[in-house]
């Protein structure tokens, strides 16, 4: 089963995303900050990291960089209201990362996740 690690500091958004992905058949483990999510990544493998960019303690780009150092095959998807930040070449975000800009429909999220995981 594809396992998704979700890092999103907005409690309501995190619950909605986790529920939508669970309903689509994915095993989702969620955290409200990048630091906790990174600690979990160090303990067990995941197929996809779904992370907000702007978060306390460790932002999503730093989380993604560190995560791909642990597992170069980990797929990365950013969810953000600040797409320009993720797309900035100076951000050092992983090159193959997908960016989904807020607001988005949950169906769009599930479709994008399915596409990324099908390409594995």
pLDDT at position 64 is: 95
pLDDT score of 86: 52
* Rounded Cα–Cα distance for residues 3 and 95 (Å): 21
What is the pTM assigned to this prediction?
0.92
Closest to 61 in 3D by CA, of 29, 30, 83, 46: 83
Q: Which helix (H) or strand (E) holds 49?
A: strand 48-52
Q: Which residues of the chain have pLDDT under 50?
A: none
What pLDDT does residue 42 have?
A: 96
């Amino acid at each position: 089963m594809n396992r998704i690690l979700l890092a999103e500091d907005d409690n309501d958004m995190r619950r909605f995303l986790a529920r939508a992905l669970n309903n689509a058949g994915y095993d989702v483990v969620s955290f409200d900050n990048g630091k906790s999510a990174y600690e979990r990544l160090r303990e067990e493998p995941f197929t996809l990291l779904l992370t907000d960019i702007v978060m306390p303690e460790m932002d999503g780009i730093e989380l993604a960089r560190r995560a791909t150092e642990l597992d170069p095959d980990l797929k990365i998807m950013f969810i953000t209201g600040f797409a320009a930040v993720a797309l900035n070449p100076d951000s050092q975000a992983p090159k193959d990362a997908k960016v989904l800009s807020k607001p988005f429909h949950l169906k769009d999220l599930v479709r994008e996740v399915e596409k990324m995981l099908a390409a594995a």
